[in-house]
Structure 1
């Protein structure tokens, strides 16, 4: 419920981002973008760690990129008309790009058909028949919108990590499957996603804190699954947790 209520109150954050971009202050706009996302999750993590909620500043954001040893890419959808993209390398300056979104198809619809194109369907559609699309490659369209404008800022070494911080419907983007001509993005880069930059820092601190705590793990094998076509129980999954 808390997440749902907060999502309905994000418009002021979007407007503030626009104001700072109009003033040629992209780094300040990034701070607003970060403050306006995943707030309920961040607050929960902070409460569990007995910390006072406080959004990261620019130096802390750069430090998080260094700690993660990864290039951070944060997106912000601006009223379905523009896309703001910030790139934070682990050893460089914050870069900003803006992209005009297409008017002939909504970003939400483009993401939806792209997922269906590779056989990903929403809940309740497990038995749906995959659709066949025309020559327009929606995965390439998404690559053109999300990756091409920042391609020169991404690491060339495919072993170096990129952490995407999506926004709104971009959380459903199959980043690994995005295509540049006949090459998938996962063939060029090591890819992760996160709800916010601050959450990366908080989860890292949490892992460090619990790493050496005594405890036991509950491992479950071969659970009762929903009914999918062409799926059957796997005896191997019962054996693995016993090892």
Structure 2
């Protein structure tokens, strides 16, 4: 019957479609098939819009969204990997556009926040558990055993690759994906058996009033939503909320971003691309951010791949006008902005650089200098390099520091974002891969974590929201802000930028500290690839 409704939509028989979708919904309710229920409600809403009945359409769409929300709550890993949320994102987007057409700007913003992809990483982070305490011992041990299984397969895979036994690689890769999926399932079960299950399900979208209070007088926040034929940007300031709507095809925007990134990484001229993206992303919101001193950005989808500081108009770069900070969503700001760190003289700093990864091709001698140079700005620094920069030491002591600086290789895993990692030195207890799934269980009290990792590119352009996995994990573990790179940045320019960022840190807010460091590097190395790669996520104060 659902298909008959869709057929009526194709033939533009709106009244008939409404009747069919209503019957489908009633049937799906009776037999409790939620996957059909939300699709029927969405179809009904779409038909109502065509009939000019916006109020009824609004009711149908809101019901569809609440069905999707209950589905999300009962989610399992497989569904994530089969793009569980991709088709469901459209319901939120259509609802947001309908609300905007009806002039309901504030409500449209609330639903855009709810639509921010609750990726698996979000779900896991929403309720932090210390596995050792909350989960039965046997479950904890089962998780550890599964982890050892994963390690063994990874090691076999390395051996097979190094000896060129092509025939065995595919089988081992399949085994590895399966073992990691089982681990994710076990983690979900661990969550379900722990007491705070209700908060695991969803993070409530922040209210506009709370958000405006957090922003204060000096900051403006621009939150984007990319839809098929339109780019929406809400601008929130302490005084009001405005919205800009720009007709631009998502396909076209994607192409511009891929082109821009490609040119950045090849050190090719990028000025025209930066001008074009500025005219799409910043120019329409300029009237609403006028007079503000700090600019916050909540990207969406492919916009995560852009360094907004490198965008420019005919006169100057955006970073020359504003210090910038990013947030995975506006709602996350209620965690990152909750308390201010004291910046007294006795700040305790941890610096790790150039860990010994057992292969000289991975050595980062300048990262070692970078870690050592922090001593000049902070008297209380513990520096660990080469074989001393171990994962086990970091896990044990991470909660003791206000500033944590890690300069090493990073690896993004697009298949299992939970296994994206920073590479540190091995020890008897740990394998040296400091993974996203391990970050969640930690208690981090740092004001800032700097990941000066040489990333293996950004992975393929996927949805974009997965990309922020490592950043989110650190935020959920308690970090107030993260300084990290969007692409592989030259060692020398990174060392200069980091040195000046920390020098400014004592006297300025973090966003201004980064801005000044970037402008200094820009004078020495004008191409944005050298100075625009680092971004600040979280609390800018």
**TM-score of the pair, normalised by structure 1:** 0.75
1:233 aligns with 2:365: yes
Count residues in correspondence. Answer: 218
Distance (whole Å) between structure 2 residues aligned to residue 76 and residue 149 of structure 1: 14
1:75 aligns with 2:224: yes
2:210 alignment partner in structure 1: 60
Correspondent of 1:46 among 112, 120, 126: 126
Structure with greater helix percent: 2
DSSP 3-state at the match of 2:352: coil
For the Cα contact (< 8 Å) 1:38–1:195, is it kept in 2? Answer: no
Compared CA separation, residues 208 and 174, structure 1 to 2 (3 A):
closer
> C-alpha deviations, 1:184-211, integer Å up to 9, x for none?
1100001111110001112333x669xx
Distance (whole Å) between structure 1 residues aligned to residue 236 and residue 272 of structure 2: 29
1:221 aligns with 2:326: no
For the Cα contact (< 8 Å) 2:100–2:108, is it kept in 1? Answer: yes
Correspondent of 2:232 among 73, 84, 99: 84
Distance (whole Å) between structure 1 residues aligned to residue 206 and residue 364 of structure 2: 47
DSSP 3-state at the match of 1:84: strand
Distance (whole Å) between structure 2 residues aligned to residue 60 and residue 132 of structure 1: 42
Structure number with greater CO (CA < 8 Å, separation at least 6) is 1
DSSP 3-state at the match of 1:96: strand
1:110-121 superposed matches below 5 A: 110-117=256-263, 119-120=264-265
What's the RMSD between the two structures over aligned residues?
3.4
Correspondent of 1:190 among 323, 344, 348: 323
Unaligned runs of 5+ in 1: 121-128, 210-215
Distance (whole Å) between structure 1 residues aligned to residue 204 and residue 94 of structure 2: 21
> C-alpha deviations, 1:138-175, integer Å up to 9, x for none?
11010000100111211446xx2211001110111120
Q: Which has the larger radius of gyration?
A: 2
1:212 alignment partner in structure 2: none
Compared CA separation, residues 153 and 11, structure 1 to 2 (3 A):
same
2:169 alignment partner in structure 1: none
Distance (whole Å) between structure 2 residues aligned to residue 187 and residue 208 of structure 1: 26
Distance (whole Å) between structure 1 residues aligned to residue 253 and residue 85 of structure 2: 22
Correspondent of 2:307 among 164, 174, 177: 174
Distance (whole Å) between structure 2 residues aligned to residue 55 and residue 36 of structure 1: 10
How far did residue 45 of structure 1 move?
4.0
Distance (whole Å) between structure 1 residues aligned to residue 356 and residue 287 of structure 2: 46
